[in-house]
Amino acid sequence: MVKKGRRRTRAPAGRDEAPRNDESRGEGDPDEAALFIAETLADLARLARRHKLDLLVRLLEMAQMESEERVRLRGRRNLS
């Protein structure tokens, strides 16, 4: 329940929000997206490791490896 006279400062969860920057608008190719995801996962894995969330660290690292592998294989294919 919200007290009278108080305003909400954030939109409720689940509402569509405007994109924050160009990256979130879906621009770029799949390789750029995979690279961005790999970098973000590395940051998240470091955070999980710092807080000793071992299973989450492992899952994030596996997803990071998958993203990096996609970028590596696509780069090799583009060189051919």
> Mind listing the pLDDT tens digit for each residue in 25-65?
567 899 899 999 999 999 999 999 999 999 999 999 999 99
How many C-beta atoms lie closer than 10 Å to residue 35's C-beta?
A: 18
pLDDT at 9: 53
* Average pLDDT value for residue range 55-80: 91
Domain ranges, ordered by start, for the chain: 28-79
How many C-beta atoms lie closer than 10 Å to residue 41's C-beta?
A: 20
Under a CB-based contact definition with an 8 Å cutoff, are residues 43 and 57 in contact?
Answer: no
Residues whose CB falls within 8 Å of the CB of residue 26, separated by 6 or more in sequence, listed in order: none
Q: Alpha-carbon distance 13 to 8, whole Å? A: 12
pLDDT at 25: 56
How many C-beta atoms lie closer than 10 Å to residue 45's C-beta?
A: 20
Q: What confidence tier does 76 reach under pLDDT thresholds 50, 70, 90?
A: confident
